Amino acid sequence: MKAFHADRQPLVLPQGHRFPATKYRRLRSLVEAWPELDVREAEPAPDAILALAHEPRYVQAIAGNGLSAAEQRAIGFPWSEAMVERARRSVGATLAAARTALVDGVAANLAGGTHHASAARGSGYCVFNDVAVAARAVQADAAGAASGSAMPRIVVIGAAQLGPVARGEPRAQVVERMEALLHEAAACSCDLVVFPELALTTFFPRWYFETEAELDGFFERAMPGPETQRLFDTARRLGIGFCLGYAERVEEGGRVRRFNTAITVDKRGTILARYRKIHLPGHAEHEPWRRFQHLEKRYFEVGDLGFPAFRASFGPGKAGIFGMAICNDRRWPETYRVLGLQGVEMILIGYNTPVHNPPAPEHDALSHFHNQLVMQSGAYQNGTWVVGVAKAGPEEGVEQIGNSVIVAPSGEIVGACTTTGDELAVARCDLDLTASYKTTTFDFARHREPAQYRMIVERKGAIPPDP
């Protein structure tokens, strides 16, 4: 039998408070060793689920510390982020147990009943009414099944653009900036936050380093590591997943290897998937004529993991198929198509892109247009959401584009950053919107003719036809 709990977020209560907050953890410690029980931590109930039984104003007041002193007294708990998280997960546990029982015949909730709350007011140590919310949710599930539809799979995305990161800026300071964006995202009920490529440091490939000791200071040997564990802890406490780009140093096959890497992390702080950048731009040798270098081909190996799509869930009704790409990957149609052939529904992309292109300065004025063009076309031609997030602004004398966007499967931009600093763009992304493109214009199984595309994989460079 499956049993669900929500006791990992300790309530911060005044000394001598009468509520026995430890009873839930003590109960779990007693029963989780029973072989017949499969004890699982509940996911937090999102706003859309809570709003099935509560007024949206009340849900937002709870999330954003907007309760009056009288409302807090009625609940019996002082407001804290831990209280909000605990309340959401308590409802999530009841809902998970209800849905599981409808499938398995029986399930248990160790999180306790919080059924004294009304639609717009908490009461008697109850913040949200878990019974009412769960009942409304399973009713909605049944109604959707009867009509041949289901509740929309809406994932609230935060595109967390970063402004410049100085060469001497400590990682701890960068992580602090990222944590601030996570808190902003939590206030917007985000499920998943996407950070840029090489988010933890300045874009170091713009310099030529003669020694590995100089270079390795920009790389992470573990993820999470001593300086990034805080980011994982904060995201887990807030109940937000994230995608992070960084420089990865590993020892494999008896040698040191370096990759431009991205990971996706779920709401529990677990790394779900890893991607290593494949389309490395720039050059491998020092070119002093350039105003700045672009030595990705020198400092990184070509990624060796392919373009894997993966399944992920960021809460009840928020499961889908995701993929990752990094910076220059977004300019290549193969990136989107390989992911599209795996049914991808959302592609997460971080980038560092200078406005100036030394080999082709005539492209500079088109940098923003090209940035949007490739992601909008990739989204539309593969029926997928695309989230592109920049590290932007004047970084160590190099102007980098911002233009972070969230693109719908239609190719339309539905969210965007408007500055070149630290900024969050938010959009509610219905993963089911991908279906109308994947089953019509871009029904690959029906319309593609791969036998006619062999040249794409057999030939690397362009060879003109004979005269």
The angle at the Cα of 243, spanning 239 to 249, to the nearest 5 degrees, equals 125
- How far apart are the C-alpha atoms of 66 and 76, rounded to whole Å? 15
Which residue out of 327, 391, 395, 429 is catalytically annotated? 327
Q: What is the pTM of this model?
A: 0.72
Give the strand pairing for 38-41 and 2-5.
parallel
Is 190 assigned a catalytic role? no
Residue 464's pLDDT is: 96
Superfamily of domain 154-455, CATH level 4? Carbon-nitrogen hydrolase (3.60.110.10)
Peptide bond into 224 cis (omega under 30): yes
Sign of CA dihedral 12, 14, 19, 23: positive
Provide the pLDDT for residue 16: 78
By three-state DSSP, how is residue 429 classified? Answer: strand
Catalytic residue chosen out of the listed positions 267, 277, 318, 391: 277
pLDDT score recorded for residue 387: 98
So what's the pLDDT on residue 25?
Answer: 79
Answer yes or no: 391 catalytic: no
Q: Which pLDDT belongs to residue 168?
A: 96
For the chain, residues with pLDDT lower than 70 are 9, 112, 143-151
Please tell me which residue in 43, 85, 197, 423 is annotated as part of the active site.
197
Classify residue 217 by burial, with Cβ atoms within 10 Å: 0-12, 13-18, 19+.
Answer: exposed
| pLDDT given at position 358 | 94
Q: What is the pLDDT of residues 296-330, one digit of tens each?
A: 999 999 999 999 999 999 988 899 999 999 999 99
> Domain residues of the chain, as ranges?
2-146, 154-455
- Closest to 162 (Cα-Cα) out of 179, 149, 150: 179
User: In 3-state terms, the chain is what percent helix, strand and coil (to 5)?
Assistant: 35, 20, 45
CATH label, 2-146, candidates 2.60.40.3080, 3.30.420.40, 3.60.20.10, 3.40.800.20 = 3.40.800.20
pLDDT at 396: 98
> Taking a C-beta distance cutoff of 8 angstroms, is the pair 353, 363 a contact?
no
Is 197 a catalytic site residue?
yes
